[in-house]
A and B are shown apart, each in its own frame.
Chain A
Amino acid sequence: MIAFLARRVLGIVPVLVCVSLFAFGFVRMLPGDPARLLAGPDATQAEVRAVRVSLGLDKPLWQQYATYIRQTLAGELGRSARTGQPVATVIGERFMPTLWLTIAAMGWSTVIGVALGVIAGVRRGRWQDQTSMVLTVSGISFPAFWLGLLLIDLFAVRLHWLPTGGEHGWRSFILPSFTLGVAVAAVMARFTRSAFVEVAGEDYVRTARMKGVPERRVVWKHTFRNALIPVITMAGLQFGFLLGGSIVIETVFAWPGLGRLLVDSVNYRDYPVIQAEILLFSFEFVLINLLVDVLYAVVNPEIRLQ
């Protein structure tokens, strides 16, 4: 297990090197001169030049690349072209709000989603299954934007129970984490149900039932545990996506997270911040994949970590 983890963690390094190359190229392929955009809508040529020099964008591409690689290897990410702050500070400030919101949303939506999925799977074809279907289809098709505004209007404007937005204490988590989790819960429920139904048709489940294993044990031990594998994969993917920051939720709830930062950075062609965000997202995904692999082994001891 430890050897496996060590190998996998080492394996992250070449992935990140490739991603950093890709990120450097990608941001420079975006049309639009960053100096021109950052200098503002009524800047003179002299001002645009001042911005270009201060960002080092006047240097040839290979020099910019060398600087970038040197900095990245030294663990330095440079400064935001837009605000002049160190990139690590800019991203650090916005990473925690996104992380906590992701955990809050994933927490409730995974539990509710899997529970709904199991109920629908066990009682398939009956009213529980149909109710779950109605709920999940609504959950997936509700536009988060509209749902968010609706909740703000009800709970913040009319009832004064909760704040409209921003990250100020635990109360401010309720509406955004609910809105963010609705679609995730729905996806998890649908996924759990189909995995459950598939496993329930397997020979070993029928065998268990035939030899008189109590139904509760058939459901939880034989079916549920085996159905969990694809569900964990799905949960990992969802978690990774949410960690990138949801642009819609962060906009509606004025959440100081990574999604809005990325949009703003792309709008202004803030190269260092875009590059660092791409790197961070890749790192998160690699890490989550690793975690998912470990969880497989925990859930199903037949899977060996190699």
Chain B
Amino acid sequence: MSRQLDLSRRAMLGGTAALAGGLAFGDLARAQTKSGQLTVGVAGHLLTLDPGDANDTLSQSAARLMLEGLLTFDHNMQVVPLLAESFEANDKATEFTFHLRQGITFHDGTPFDAEAVKINFERVANPANHLKRLSLLSMLERVDVLDAHTARCVLKYPFGAFIPTIAHPALQLLSPAAIKTYGKQVGRHPVGTGPFAFASWQPDTLKVVKHAGYWQKGLPHLDALTIRSDPEDGARIAMLRAGEAQMITPIPPQQAQLIQHDPKLALINDPSIVVRYIAMNVNKKPYNDPRVRQALNHAVNKELFAKVVYNGFADPLLSAEPPHITFYQQQAAYDYNPEKAKQLLAAAGYAHGFEATMWGFNNTVAITGMQFLQQQLAMVGVKLKVEPLEGGVMAARIWTVKHPSESHLEMYFGGWSSSTGDADWALRPLFATASFPPVLYNVGYYSNKAVDAALKAGLETADPAKRGAAYAKAQKLIWDDAAWVFLGVERILDARDKNLQDAYRLPDGGLMLDAARYA
């Protein structure tokens, strides 16, 4: 008895000590907002700060704190100049000339000039370097230094989507001196021209500090910025509510209300370019019949899909690409109409429906989505078997299949985000005949010569009017063929401290923090 009393007394004493120490910690967390510190809690891990070797949005976003490209995207994914002042292309889309901003230096004092552009682009394009973003510049023949502030990219073949490609965060520039010093390890020692300079990178925590000599006057507003990995959704929200982070990304749609109801927090709810769809293997019955594919489009209530899977935080998908991709053309919706779906199925010879298997990743969204579709399709007689697969198994089953006849895929619950923001990368990898696995991602083996021709035409010119016409045609054809069941477009959902401003994510998911400040 006395022993237990003793224990509890000791626990109380310990509690008091923790109280005293803990208060200091709470104050510290709150003081961050005052002193120009920003901590962003993220779900993933940083892999490298060498953008040319990074294929995940988070690593590229982190690099963007320190590095800049010739071009970048504004809030709406429109290409805008950054280190380049202007650019022009020849008619055949084989030569692109960039006029560079003058008087800028990298953080290590190396001047930013046309030579730096040449070294960076040719480094990514050189297959011998084995960088993960190699194919982004696979069309690049060479970079000519016309004078210190003019660089011309000469391409091997016409590539009309070159300008959005240059705005891709993977092509942000590193200091040539840093590339020389660190070689392959430059991803641990990034030196750029950006608003922040590298400070430290320990497991789960990246720290950067204000670069005093930044060329854009008045920026950055913050003195220091930290990116902290916290993989668990609930724990990340706790980080924000405890004041340890002032922004967290992403938040699950189911938690959005929690953020909205907290007077100290604000929900960031922006459009994204992440599309959700079902791809169907058109080499297999019954998916070879367009009427069946159209029937499935009529059989799914997309509004309900957004509600069930995304708690309402999703937009309708009304073309093969989402609205924030270039040359978007809205199509006439496949309305929710189970009767019409049944008629189409009957006309195709499936009056009693059919059995099908759907594959998807084993994450919450995919599993919820597939279960929802199972119920929806059951209403028109399609008996769906749902198989969530682990990433490696999925890759082996659909992406690395050598020949179409070897694919066992029937339906695939998929997602795509065009990392260049351009119609080419939104459509070609998924719908071109030349994009069958293992080359790219046309996992349903959709093939339409007219679509192939339109996609090709879109790349043979840099003229926006001609490109627009080509992609409008492609979108119409794909839509009418019902190559996918078009489900929806995700929304960007993040949460921030109410006082934090101008910190957001682009529709492609990339973090933009260069102008972040406190009200």
Contacts and interface: CB of A to CB of B under 8 A. Distances in A.
Partners in one complex: yes
Interface of A: 30-33, 36-48, 50-51, 53-54, 82-85, 93-94, 97, 148-149, 152-153, 155-157, 159-166, 171, 174, 251-254, 256, 260, 264, 267, 269
Interface residues of B, number: 61
B242 A50 contact: no
Contact of B132 (A40, A85, A93, A156): A40
B519 interface: no
B250 to A, nearest CB: 15
A260 B204 CA distance: 11
Contacts of B243: 160
Given A254-B239, A256-B203, 15 more contacts: A41-B55, A42-B429, A43-B55, A50-B134, A51-B130, A54-B130, A83-B48, A84-B185, A156-B242, A157-B238, A160-B26, A161-B19, A164-B230, A164-B242, A251-B231
A160 B25 contact: yes
A161 B135 contact: no
A38 to B, nearest CB: 8
A38 B48 CA distance: 13
A152 B135 contact: no
Interface string B237-274: 01101111000000000000000000000000000000
A160 B242 contact: yes
Contacts of B21: 161, 171
Interface stretch (B171-179, B395-403, B465-473): B395-403
A50 B130 contact: yes
B324 interface: no
A47 B399 CA distance: 14
Contacts of B184: 84
Interface in B2-48: 18-19, 21-23, 25-26, 29, 45, 47-48
Contacts of A83: 47-48, 187
Contacts of B138: 44, 46
Nearest to B239: A164
A44 B232 contact: no
Given A31-B393, A46-B127, A157-B238, A36 B19 contact: no
Contact of A161 (B26, B55, B202, B228): B26
B165 to A, nearest CB: 13
A254 B45 CA distance: 11
B231 A163 contact: no
A174 to B, nearest CB: 7
B135 A251 contact: no
B346 to A, nearest CB: 38
Interface string B211-239: 00000000000000000111110110011
B396 A31 contact: yes
Contacts, number: 159
A75 B106 CA distance: 39
Interface stretch (B82-90, B278-286, B435-443): B435-443
A252 B26 contact: no
Interface in B423-447: 425, 429, 438-441
B228 A47 contact: no
A41 B44 CA distance: 15
Contacts of B439: 44-45
Nearest to A40: B55
Contact of A31 (B45, B392, B399): B392
A190 to B, nearest CB: 19
B131 A50 contact: yes
B311 to A, nearest CB: 20
A111 to B, nearest CB: 11
5 contacts: A54-B130, A152-B238, A161-B26, A166-B204, A166-B230
Contacts of B132: 38-40, 43, 47, 50-51
Between A41, A93, A174, the greatest number of chain B beta carbons within 10 A of the residue's beta carbon is seen for A41
In the A-B complex, the 4 residue pairs with the smallest Cβ-Cβ separation, listed nearest first, are: A32-B392, A161-B22, A40-B55, A160-B26
A253 to B, nearest CB: 7
A31 B440 CA distance: 20
B22 A157 contact: no
Contacts of B22: 155, 159-162, 171
Contacts of B391: 32, 37, 267
Contacts of A47: 55, 132-135
B27 to A, nearest CB: 8
Given A42-B55, A50-B131, A157 B441 contact: no
B392 A46 contact: no
Given A160-B242, A162-B22, A163-B25, A44 B440 contact: yes
B188 interface: yes
A120 to B, nearest CB: 13
Contacts of A46: 127, 134-135, 138
A44 B396 CA distance: 15
A82 B133 CA distance: 14
Contacts of B187: 83-84
Nearest to A54: B130
B448 interface: no
